[in-house]
Amino acid sequence: MLLTAALALVLAAEPETASPAPAAPSWSFGFDRVDLISEEIGSFLNYDVLEVRVYPLKPVLRFVEQVKVVFRLPWTGLYVGASIESQSLTYELPVGPKGLFLTGGVVTRLLFPRGAIAGAAYRVGNFRFGLSLSAFTSGSWSAPGSFQWTFFPSLGFGLGFGGP
């Protein structure tokens, strides 16, 4: 809740008051960021966090499971990320000079194809904020025939350590 409230304040602020994002950074392969809140899947904010008052250990574990490490691939705009919960390949298309991107990607579960996300991201300084629609199935290597779809709006919050 605190995180999303902080995110709301940032998004509601005038873009001009935010730190200017690099207009055309040179691209290099390597570490990009850690998503403390991953917008893939999205069940942590949609469901798990609601259980914090009845069994806090579970949301804590689910939080850890969804923390994602993201790397830039050698191709501009392409990223690969991995958490316990999901692994993904995503693309970010810049749509303005102020750090705004359209995003899309495919999501796997231990590399089992699972779903996709689409949305937008905003990068400012070392922070990345995401807002996406996540669509994923219940399929897995142990239940490859399970194709129950779930759709979640989801938020992302990533922390980087310097741009490319």
Partner 1 sequence: MRRALPLALITLLSSGCGALAPPGNPLVVAHRSGAGNWPENSRTAVRNAVAAGYEGIEFDLGLTKDRIPVISHNVALNPVLCAHADGTPLGTTPVYIKDLTLQELRSGFLCGGLADPDNPSAQVIADIHLTLDELIGEVSARPDLLLHFDVKFEPEKTLDATAFADEILGRWSAAGLPNPWYMSCAFPEFIRVAADRGAHVSYTLPRPVPALGSTGGAVAGDVLGKLGVGDFIGLARQSGAAGLNVAYQVADRAVVDAAKREGLTVQLWTVNDPAALDLYCHWPIDVLITNYPERAPCF
Give the span between the Cα atoms of 54 and 71, in whole angstroms: 36
Binding mask 43-72 for partner 1 (x = CB under 8 A): x-xxxxxxx-xxx-xx--xx--x-------
- Choose between 44 and 79: whose C-beta lies nearer to partner 1: 44
DSSP string spanning 122-147?
EEETTEEEEEEEEEE-S--SS-TT--
Q: How far is the CB of 63 from partner 1 (least distance, A)?
A: 12
CA 152 from chain centre, in angstroms, equals 13
Binder to partner 1 among 18, 67, 73, 84 (CB under 8 A)?
84
153 binds partner 1 (CB under 8 A): yes
With beta carbons less than 8 A apart as the criterion, state whether 102 and 77 touch.
no
Of 120-139, which residues contact partner 1 (CB under 8 A)? 131, 138-139
Q: How far is the CB of 77 from partner 1 (least distance, A)?
A: 24
Give the span between the Cα atoms of 69 and 136, in whole angstroms: 20
Identity of the residue numbered 126:
N
Q: How far is the CB of 101 from partner 1 (least distance, A)?
A: 16
With beta carbons less than 8 A apart as the criterion, state whether 105 and 90 touch.
yes
Binder to partner 1 among 7, 21, 34, 70 (CB under 8 A)?
7
Give the span between the Cα atoms of 37 and 157, in whole angstroms: 5
Binding residues (CB under 8 A) for partner 1: these are: 1, 4-5, 7-8, 11-12, 41, 43, 45-51, 53-55, 57-58, 61-62, 65, 84-85, 109-110, 112, 131, 138-143, 145-146, 148, 150, 152-155
